Structure formats: structure tokens, C-alpha cells
Amino acid sequence: MKKTLVISYTPRENSNTKKMLDFFIENNQDKTEITFVDLAEEAPDLLLKEHLNLYVNRNFGGVELSDEQQNILAKNDRMMQQLLETDFVVLACPMHNFSIPATVKAWFDAVIQSGKTFTYTDTGIKGLCKNTKALVLMTSGSDFSIEPYKSVNFATPFLMTAFNFMGISAEAINKFGMIQYADKSEQMIADAKEEIKTVSNTWY
């Protein structure tokens, strides 16, 4: 059975993004082995001074870390290993202030690791997760699909770029304007569910 890694940051009560994610899980739980990571409950370790220097020394400098030092990086390494071992990734989060929530960015900082999910070659950077596919589920209160907000949607470009950097083919189901078009929000969620079915049928 194919493996699916679900990365969720949907802590808000009555979250529209969570409604989309819940449908994905309900629709596919019998078709794939799901590993669920709730970033609102367990955040990755930030790359503060100690974590960052240990990571750089190990992954870029080839320094062998002590067991104690390795334990400091253990949580982020575990999250990275989850990504390496999966076939599909579903990342569900809202847009916060034009971009992704900080906890979601911290997850990417944890899993984008030199020598593990990407490497350097003579012709440039190569992603090492070539057999993995990703789906992003995202909502926002305002409509970021049209101007004046389209040009300040930094969330979707970042997510697509970050997945592609690791060699992961990604697509997004975005439902923007859930507050702006409150009278259409239920239909927007219904449309998202149909789009999720379509992606699911290509995956499983």
C-alpha cells in the first residue's frame, strides 16, 4: 500500500482548510497508509544558533556528531525521514499575512537537508525526492487569485518552489476569499472536495 504523509497546520476552530483536509483523509484512508503530523501540536525545532551550526557542520562539513549532538537534531531528522519514506505528501495550511504560517516554514527548514532531500551536482542542485508527489490545500479570507492581492500571494509560490527544490512534483487546491465571498464559501468547499477526488483518483 502506498504511503501518504499528511502535514497539517489547521488549529483554528471551524477551519475551512481543515474541512478540505478532513475530506481528503475520509476519502482516502482505506486506499493508503497515512502518517499524520499536526504542526499545531508538535512544531519542528527552529534553526536557532545551536541547531543551525550542528546541521551545517554535519550536512555541509561532513563532521561526525556525538550522540548528544545528534539527539539535538533528532526531531527534525525524524520529520525529514518521514518525507523520505513516503510516496505522497498532503500539506494543509491557511495563508497568514500573505505567506505560510511560521510553523509550516519551520517544517520545510527541517526537511530540506543537504545530502538527504537535495544535493549539489556539477550542473546545479538536484532534488532527491523524485518519486514523491505533493498536494497543497489552502484557504484564505481574502481573494488572492486576483489583484490587488494576487501579486502579494507569497504562500503558493514558496510552497511550489520548496517542494520542487526537493524534486517533488506539487499541485495546489486553493480556495481564496472565504470571508470576502462568505455567501459562496460552502460551494467553494464543495468544489474543493471534487478537486480532491480528482487528485486522489490519479494517486491511488
Long-range own/partner contacts, residues 115-123 (CB < 8 A, 24 or more apart): 115/59, 116/59, 116/80, 116/84, 117/80, 117/83, 117/84, 117/166, 117/167, 118/165, 118/166, 118/167
Output phi, psi for 24, to 5 deg: -55, -50
pLDDT in tens, 91-142: 999 999 999 999 999 999 999 999 999 999 999 999 999 999 999 999 999 9
Q: Using CA of residue 143, residue 149, residue 151, residue 154, what is the dihedral sign?
A: negative
Contacts of 127 (CB under 8 A, 6+ apart): 117, 118, 164, 165, 166, 167, 168
Q: What is the pTM of this model?
A: 0.95
Residue-range definition of the domain harbouring residue 64? 3-203
Say if CB 188 and CB 180 are below 8 A apart.
no
Cα 145 to Cα 100: distance, rounded to the nearest angstrom: 16
Say if CB 89 and CB 8 are below 8 A apart.
no
CB count, 10 Å around CB of 38?
Answer: 13
pLDDT in tens, 19-58: 999 999 999 999 999 999 999 999 999 999 999 999 999 9
Cα 181 to Cα 116: distance, rounded to the nearest angstrom: 43
Q: What is the mean pLDDT of residues 157-179?
A: 97
pLDDT given for residue 103 in this prediction: 97
pLDDT band of residue 84 (cuts 50, 70, 90) is: very high
Q: Where are the alpha helices (DSSP H) in 60-154?
A: 67-72, 74-84, 102-111
Cα 148 to Cα 180: distance, rounded to the nearest angstrom: 13
Q: How many domains does the chain have?
A: 1
Q: Which CATH number covers residue 107?
A: 3.40.50.360
pLDDT given for residue 18 in this prediction: 98
